[in-house]
Amino acid sequence: MNYIIFDLEWNQCPRGPEYENPRIPFEIIEIGAVKLNESFEIVDEYSSIVKPRIYKFLHNHVRQMLNYDETLLRTGRPFDMVCREFMKWCGNDYIFGTWGTGDLIQLQKNMDYYYMNKFAEPFKYYNIQSIFAENYEDLGACKLEKAVVAMNLPTEEEFHTAINDARYTALVFQNLSKKHLHDQYTYDYYHEPKDKASEVFAFHRSYSEHITRGFDQRTDIMEDKEITTFRCYKCKRKIAKKIKWFAYNQNSFVSVGHCWYHGNQKGIIKIKTSNSGKIFAIKKIKPITKKEVEDIRNRQNELREKRIEKRKKH
Ligand SMILES: [Zn+2]
């Protein structure tokens, strides 16, 4: 299996968001990628400029960041042609690696625009930014340039061209510890699972994740038994809830469970709306400290009091 480390540059409507095409707010203008083999050695590179079709002039912010302009973009080829070539270049046996979550979202949004998205469901990839953050906790999910500098890697080439950023991301990836790599994958959920049988259950060393299928309504989600069941992230046993699910904010629910063997755990259900307009959820369960249990309990009480206050006023 190969690792395809890729990076994109994209443009947005130069006249502001009110004039943008809502189906494609960000138009890809460059794809750059590096292919690594199983020993993390570079075996090939891919780089292409995309000739824009929606936004032919650069937005000011994009212009300031990029090292090129419309003159170069006009020499590019249409997105569908470049993207097809890129996917062919990726081959059949690969896993993507990107800096952050944005590139996979924009790649698929642009593919959707041209009705050519072949990724129908969630798939695994490596978010190298978050793997870096695990190793460099004080820096966290920082910018690529900061990470390259923090690792004392050479920075001769300029940043913010897709191919250079792909090379830098690959360089960071090559130099990170691979001890836990088998466990450090992330699921891309641009497309939610299509049915119950294809829902995703991922058990990692420090958390578990459940990506549900799409529902028609928000209320269906918290009525689903499987979603509200609290299972220990480690032993998968059904465990008792110390704090039942409560609405933490507009789009998330929180609960606390306790496993006799693996201690206190926080459950969080985030409600998402998919591109097809369906409602689905991401449930994560991870260990927490006693102090964090108290913080959650306090938050729950605070919200309860606010609700009572509100009712009194009406
Ligand atoms: Zn357990």
Q: How confident is the model at residue 166 (pLDDT cuts 50, 70, 90)?
A: very high
- Identify the pLDDT of residue 96: 98
Q: Which residue is it, tokens 């008792």?
A: 240
63-91 mean pLDDT: 94
Cα 257 to averaged position of ligand 1 atoms, centre (Å): 10
Per the DSSP assignment, residues forming a β-bridge with 105 are none
Residue 239 Cα to ligand 1 midpoint, Å, equals 8
What is the model's pLDDT at position 192? 95
223 alpha carbon – ligand 1 mean position (Å): 24
Q: How far is the centre of ligand 1, averaged over its atoms, from the C-alpha of 237 (Å)?
A: 6
Q: How far is the CA of 226 from the centre of ligand 1 (A)?
A: 17
What is the arithmetic mean of pLDDT over 179-197?
A: 95
pLDDT at 118: 84
Q: Give me ligand 1 centre to Cα 235, in Å.
A: 4
pLDDT band at 247 (very low <50, low <70, confident <90, very high): very high
Q: At 189, give phi and psi (nearest 5°).
A: -120, 40
Give pLDDT tens digits for 223-240. 999 999 999 999 999 999
Ligand 1 centre distance from Cα of residue 267 (Å): 13
Give residue 32 CA to ligand 1 midpoint distance, Å. 43
Q: Using the mean position of ligand 1's atoms as its centre, give its distance from the Cα of residue 287 in Å.
A: 10
pLDDT of residue 138: 92
> How far away, in angstroms, is 76 Cα from ligand 1 center?
54
Cα of 54 from ligand 1 centre, angstroms: 52
164 — pLDDT class (breaks 50, 70, 90): very high
Give 95's pLDDT tier (boundaries 50, 70, 90).
very high
pLDDT digits (tens, 9 = 90+) for 278-290: 999 999 999 999 9
Contacts of 60 (CB under 8 A, 6+ apart): 14
**CA of residue 109 to ligand 1 center, whole Å:** 39
CA of 231 to the centre of ligand 1 (A): 8
Is the per-residue pLDDT at 276 higher than 90? no
CB 288 within 8 A of CB 256: yes
List % helix, strand, coil for the chain (3-state, nearest 5). 35, 30, 35
Residue 194's identity, in one-letter code, is K
CA angle, corner 253, sides to 181 and 279, nearest 5? Answer: 80
Listed in sequence order, the DSSP H helices in the chain are 60-65, 70-73, 79-90, 102-113, 128-135, 144-150, 162-175, 218-222, 225-228, 290-313
Ligand 1 centre from 138 Cα, in Å?
Answer: 29
- Asked if residue 275 has pLDDT above 90, the reply is no
Tokens of 143: 């910018």
Mean pLDDT in residue range 2-9: 98
Ligand 1 center–CA 265 separation, angstroms: 9
Which tokens in the block code for residue 199?
A: 């829902």
Look up the pTM and report it.
0.92
Percent of the chain scoring above 90 in pLDDT: 91
Please give the pLDDT value at position 270: 97
**β-pair partners for 210:** 201, 283
Q: How many CB atoms lie within 10 A of CB 259?
A: 21
Q: For residue 33, how far is its CA from the centre of ligand 1 (angstroms)?
A: 41
CB 158 within 8 A of CB 164: yes
Give 288 Cα–ligand 1 centroid separation in angstroms. 13
